[in-house]
Chain A
């Protein structure tokens, strides 16, 4: 197991470098650079060109890339082009908000998804199963921006139960429990929007996995021993059915972080996603690169985590 882990970690280094080269190339292929987003008739073009030159935007691309990767290895993610802020610090400022949002959504996805899946499987071909199936398809296919705006419209504007956006009530200076409740109020809608597709996926996965297990011999044995239906379902079936669901566990991490881009933008959530969207519009290369690096590390960690947990949950699997 240890050997396997080391092997996987070493493998991830060339993969990460490959990813950064790809992102860098794709980013450079998109037309426009940070300076060109702010042309101004009063600024002479020599002045503009000099600024570009000094920022190194005119250097050959391989030079630009190697300058960047060299700095990354020393722990420096660079500075934003237009505001000179350290990118690492900028991301760290935004990280807690994103972790809070994706964390809530993550917990929600499994806490809601698994029971619904079990319920759906044990009631197969009955009304609740059909209802849940339809709902899960809606959940997977509804675009998050639409769902998000719909939620804002209904729960924030029409009913006034929820705040429209943001992470805290600005200017309220709350402390203790009131502050916590303020967070809860603000995080509810965005995390539901973010979790919905994952809830649906987890539910479908649990359902099919559960159905497979329910048809196996040891379940029939348990049934014939006279155990209660509840005990059979939860203790004997669910435990075995959860093994494939663990894969989703790992894979949903990058999915949630990706989904956070749109969700954060809609709900004005001050996390990395809204930072990412701003940076793409402004062609802030260093931020885009850093966010991409960060996301790729997350995806790889998620995959690795899924593999490791798989082995841990199923003693038959050994690496």
Chain B
């Protein structure tokens, strides 16, 4: 009996110790709050700085998936770039208006013929390990992308450069078009004037002194892929697999030291991360639109929207017997009540889209054809196309009902709901539509079909009928070329809708050669206008991504470049 009592008392001792530890924490906090109220803002920050040193200048931001590669030239995904944007710098970077401005480049000139770019690099830039950054690093980075062993998705950036292809095939021992003039000057020469080239240089510059002895094909296994060294505003500290990545301020950052001491990037399930924001363990995380009401009322946090420059749309298989007629697609477009759709699923977090180019981007034409919601126009168009309503009041042509299967990828609730709304709207018109939910990789196997031996093949009408996806510009509208140029149908590109219009092909090629931005804009506007006429995509809506941010964080401004883009300017109250 005595023994038992001993055990129990030890247990209670633990409990008391535990409670004591907790409650003493609370009291210090309370004291802090009291002093804060009496003092002004600046001194209150100082008080808390002294008393709770761990809280100083640390922001914890959470994303829903863990990064894979921290070497930014290996299959960069959003979860990777969220971290690498803080650790690395690129030569150039898009500004808020999506025009390219220098980052590691101080300035640059383009030759008269539009083929030669001379970059003057910033001086006094140092790698995190203290080595100086020079033009050699830039040369090394872009030469590596054309290395024969490299195949991790960034070769297209250097493809326009003279001699890149030859270097890749092993016919040359260096890329002819990349020339180091001196330590802080580098010259790129392209085969032809190529307007999107400059935006292709928006990729991190890698440290030559770390990676030069490893062939680029082996970089993913190199230690720096898990503990990178860059020139950026934050230095990598550690990566606890499955938990978090810790970064600390680079006090010697050439564009000024960050205001924070530390950034911690966490990753985990969306609901769990949201709960961590509510318990104030995490400062910033994204919120699904459907969950926004539950955080909108918080007194310690606010919602901040990220404009993603992307458009959600319905894509049609032009090989399909119904959809090969533009009139059918136009008829369907007239039967979509986009306003109602946005109001019911997105509210203030979305806007109606009429252009495949995002409306905030310079590529969006102000004068393209808009399909107003008017089912009488749809009826007229379908009649013109030779459709008649049958006894079940469904449109049919030559005895075939206008019915199809809509593939809707899971993962975004709003997108899934939009599929259901489309079904209702189109069934009202007299069109039969079935919805199939599937995960993204499965949808990709339908859009980019392969033969049994794994080779990609052409899309046929059996592969799919229609799908809903989002598409966004990352840096340059030239990205649309691979989606609408007739030369880019699978297996040669991503034109899985099978769109073919000689005029659009011509415009898409012409805009790549037009160095003058205004003239280029005109060409791209024409592309948008043509696409709106043919309506191979029905643009539905644009959506912003809300983030919930603890009010102690100041300066969090996510934009299309990413959520952590301006982490250097974040601070805490």
Residues of A participating in the B interface, judged by any CB pair closer than 8 Å: 30-33, 36-52, 54, 57-60, 79-80, 82-85, 90, 93-94, 97, 149, 152-153, 156-157, 160, 163-173, 178, 181, 265-271, 274-275, 278, 281-283
Number of A-B contacts (CB under 8 A): 174
Contacting pair B455 A49 (CB below 8 A): yes
Contacting pair A156 B275 (CB below 8 A): yes
In the assembled complex, how far is the CB of residue B129 from the closest CB belonging to chain A, in whole angstroms? 22
Interface residues on B, range: 35 or more
Give the nearest-CB partner of B481 in chain A. Answer: A41
From A83, A85, A93, A164, contact of B276 by CB (8 A): A164
Contacting pair A43 B156 (CB below 8 A): yes
Give the nearest-CB partner of B475 in chain A. Answer: A42
Interface centre among A149, A169, A170 (most CB of B within 10 A): A170
- Which residues in A have their C-beta under 8 angstroms from that of B159? 44
Contacting pair A40 B153 (CB below 8 A): yes
In the assembled complex, how far is the CB of residue A187 from the closest CB belonging to chain B, in whole angstroms? 14
Asked if B412 CB lies within 8 Å of chain A CBs, one says: no
Contacting pair B272 A164 (CB below 8 A): yes
Interface centre among A84, A153, A156, A282 (most CB of B within 10 A): A84
Q: Which of chain B's residues 229-248 have a Cβ closer than 8 Å to chain A?
A: 240-244, 246
- Distance of A44 Cα from B485 Cα, bound (Å): 13
From B54, B151, B153, B242, contact of A172 by CB (8 A): B54
Asked if B58 CB lies within 8 Å of chain A CBs, one says: yes
Contacting pair A171 B491 (CB below 8 A): no
Asked if B152 CB lies within 8 Å of chain A CBs, one says: yes
Contacting pair A164 B281 (CB below 8 A): yes
Contacting pair A47 B220 (CB below 8 A): no
Contacting pair A44 B456 (CB below 8 A): no
In the assembled complex, how far is the CB of residue A28 from the closest CB belonging to chain B, in whole angstroms? 11
In the assembled complex, how far is the CB of residue A159 from the closest CB belonging to chain B, in whole angstroms? 11
From A36, A94, A170, contact of B441 by CB (8 A): A36
- Which residues in A have their C-beta under 8 angstroms from that of B503? none
Contacting pair B491 A31 (CB below 8 A): no
From B240, B268, B278, B493, contact of A157 by CB (8 A): B278
- Distance of A156 Cα from B268 Cα, bound (Å): 17
- Which residues in A have their C-beta under 8 angstroms from that of B492? 45-46
- Distance of A194 Cα from B448 Cα, bound (Å): 40
Asked if B440 CB lies within 8 Å of chain A CBs, one says: yes
Q: Mark B379-413, 1 if CB is under 8 A from A, else 0.
A: 00000000000000000000000000000000000
- Which residues in B have their C-beta under 8 angstroms from that of A271? 242
Contacting pair A82 B68 (CB below 8 A): yes
From A45, A172, A266, contact of B493 by CB (8 A): A45
Contacting pair A39 B241 (CB below 8 A): no
Give the nearest-CB partner of A156 in chain B. Answer: B279
Give the nearest-CB partner of B282 in chain A. Answer: A164
- Which residues in A have their C-beta under 8 angstroms from that of B39? none
Q: Mark B427-460, 1 if CB is under 8 A from A, else 0.
A: 0000000000001111011001000011110000
Contacting pair A41 B440 (CB below 8 A): no
- Distance of A133 Cα from B309 Cα, bound (Å): 56
Contacting pair B60 A170 (CB below 8 A): yes
- Asked whether A42 and B448 contact (CB < 8 A) given A47-B155, A58-B453, A163-B279, the answer is no
- Which residues in A have their C-beta under 8 angstroms from that of B483? 41
In the assembled complex, how far is the CB of residue B167 from the closest CB belonging to chain A, in whole angstroms? 15
- Asked whether A47 and B153 contact (CB < 8 A) given A57-B454, A84-B225, A171-B54, the answer is yes
Asked if B494 CB lies within 8 Å of chain A CBs, one says: yes
In the assembled complex, how far is the CB of residue B62 from the closest CB belonging to chain A, in whole angstroms? 9
Give the nearest-CB partner of B200 in chain A. Answer: A42
Residues of B participating in the A interface, judged by any CB pair closer than 8 Å: 18, 21, 54, 58, 60, 65-66, 68-69, 74-75, 77, 151-157, 159, 200, 220-221, 225-226, 240-244, 246, 262, 264, 266, 268-269, 271-273, 275-276, 278-279, 281, 439-442, 444-445, 448, 453-456, 474, 479-483, 490-494
- Asked whether A49 and B456 contact (CB < 8 A) given A31-B445, A36-B444, A268-B269, the answer is yes
Contacting pair B479 A42 (CB below 8 A): yes
Q: A44-B482, A45-B490 are in contact. List 17 more A-B contacts (CB 8 A).
A: A32-B445, A40-B153, A45-B448, A49-B456, A58-B453, A82-B69, A85-B220, A90-B241, A93-B242, A94-B242, A97-B242, A157-B278, A171-B264, A266-B272, A268-B268, A270-B243, A274-B242
- Which residues in A have their C-beta under 8 angstroms from that of B246? 171
- Which residues in A have their C-beta under 8 angstroms from that of B242? 93-94, 97, 269-271, 274-275
Give the nearest-CB partner of B276 in chain A. Answer: A164
Question: 4 nearest interchain CB pairs?
Answer: A32-B441, A270-B242, A84-B220, A268-B268
In the assembled complex, how far is the CB of residue A276 from the closest CB belonging to chain B, in whole angstroms? 11
- Distance of A85 Cα from B21 Cα, bound (Å): 41
- Which residues in B have their C-beta under 8 angstroms from that of A278? 65-66
- Distance of A90 Cα from B68 Cα, bound (Å): 12
From B151, B275, B281, contact of A47 by CB (8 A): B151
Contacting pair B494 A41 (CB below 8 A): yes
- Distance of A209 Cα from B276 Cα, bound (Å): 43
In the assembled complex, how far is the CB of residue A115 from the closest CB belonging to chain B, in whole angstroms? 15
- Asked whether A43 and B153 contact (CB < 8 A) given A31-B441, A167-B243, the answer is yes
In the assembled complex, how far is the CB of residue B508 from the closest CB belonging to chain A, in whole angstroms? 12
- Which residues in A have their C-beta under 8 angstroms from that of B153? 38, 40, 43, 47-48, 51
- Distance of A171 Cα from B244 Cα, bound (Å): 10
- Distance of A47 Cα from B159 Cα, bound (Å): 11
Contacting pair B77 A266 (CB below 8 A): no
- Between A and B, 21 residue pairs with Cβ closer than 8 Å are A33-B441, A38-B75, A41-B483, A42-B200, A45-B492, A45-B493, A48-B153, A51-B153, A59-B454, A60-B453, A83-B220, A85-B220, A157-B275, A164-B275, A164-B276, A164-B278, A166-B266, A170-B244, A171-B262, A268-B268, A278-B66
- Asked whether A51 and B151 contact (CB < 8 A) given A38-B75, A165-B272, the answer is yes
Contacting pair A58 B455 (CB below 8 A): yes
Contacting pair B18 A181 (CB below 8 A): yes
Give the nearest-CB partner of A153 in chain B. Answer: B275
- Distance of A292 Cα from B454 Cα, bound (Å): 25
- Which residues in A have their C-beta under 8 angstroms from that of B66? 278
Contacting pair B266 A170 (CB below 8 A): yes
Give the nearest-CB partner of A157 in chain B. Answer: B278
Give the nearest-CB partner of B411 in chain A. Answer: A281
- Distance of A58 Cα from B450 Cα, bound (Å): 10
Interface centre among A46, A172, A271 (most CB of B within 10 A): A46
In the assembled complex, how far is the CB of residue B134 from the closest CB belonging to chain A, in whole angstroms? 28
- Asked whether A37 and B441 contact (CB < 8 A) given A47-B151, A58-B455, the answer is yes
- Distance of A278 Cα from B183 Cα, bound (Å): 43
Contacting pair B272 A267 (CB below 8 A): yes
Give the nearest-CB partner of A185 in chain B. Answer: B18
- Distance of A33 Cα from B279 Cα, bound (Å): 38
- Distance of A267 Cα from B65 Cα, bound (Å): 14
Contacting pair B441 A160 (CB below 8 A): no
- Distance of A268 Cα from B274 Cα, bound (Å): 12
- Distance of A54 Cα from B404 Cα, bound (Å): 38
- Distance of A5 Cα from B283 Cα, bound (Å): 55
- Which residues in A have their C-beta under 8 angstroms from that of B494? 39, 41, 45
Contacting pair A39 B444 (CB below 8 A): yes
